[in-house]
Amino acid sequence: MFIDQFASQSGAQLSINVDQASQFAKSVSGDFNPIHDPGNRRFCVPGDLLFALAVERYGLANSMAFHFSGLVAADTPLIFPFEQSDQFQILDGRGKEYLRVSRDGERISANAGVEELIRAYVRFSGQNFPHILVPLMTEQNVMINAQRPLVIYQSMSLQLDKLNLTKPTLKLSKTTLKINGKRGDAHLHFDVLDGPTLIGRGVKHLILSGLRPFDQGAVDIMVSDYLGWQSEHSYL
């Protein structure tokens, strides 16, 4: 599958270097969060890349949940379990957990339709900023730190009525942002369609840190910079 180019296998371990992670974020997800930029001292591997690798290896199930429990640094040796149980973890060699996956129902191995769903989801996920989060922040009169934006991918769950897919697409259905001090919990609900038919639903949970009063000028600059970086890249 196309996702293989974004990770390197060495024995039982898999690792993702800076270039692989950054290229995936920008060219596949369209995600220009500075935390995925080479040279950023807070650099981490995109959560969507871990999701994509897990689905490629273990396939789809009618019900799936992905909980991101740690930020993956570049070149971290990751262990994807060989046995396929209903619940499993992605760990490093010291036993630290980075991703916890649970699933239920029928299963299907990765195929062309599954690859299309992976592409559709990570493209949808990568567009969270500015298209979804800026309207939410405007509504709540808050914003992230424009100099050090921090948006953390907490979890995602997916419910599918069918697994044999041809041309799946995702459509945003509902958004919420709950503010608690300087932290915001955003839930992005989406529908999964195959052609014109609704075949599933899902929700993505994000944590927004370092919130402060909304400043339209600062947001405009942040969005302009982001869209400028985005326009310089093409999708794979």
For residue 102, the SS3 value is strand
Pair of tokens at residue 97: 């957990």
Handedness of CA 133, 135, 140, 145 (dihedral sign): positive
pTM of the predicted structure, to 2 decimals: 0.92
Instruction: Confirm if 163 and 236 have CB atoms less than 8 A apart.
Output: no
pLDDT at 236: 62
CATH of 2-231 given 3.30.230, 1.10.3470, 2.40.160, 1.10.260: 2.40.160
- pLDDT tens for the chain, residues 1 to 236: 789 999 999 888 999 999 999 999 999 998 888 889 898 888 999 999 999 999 999 999 999 999 999 999 999 999 999 877 899 999 999 999 999 999 999 999 999 999 999 999 999 999 898 999 999 999 999 999 988 888 899 999 999 999 999 999 999 999 999 999 999 999 999 999 999 999 999 999 999 999 999 999 999 999 998 888 777 766 66
CA contacts within 13 A on the Cβ side of 154: 15
Beta bridge partners of 68: 99
User: How would DSSP label each residue in 142-157?
Assistant: EE--SSS--EEEEEEE
What pLDDT shows up at residue 83? 75
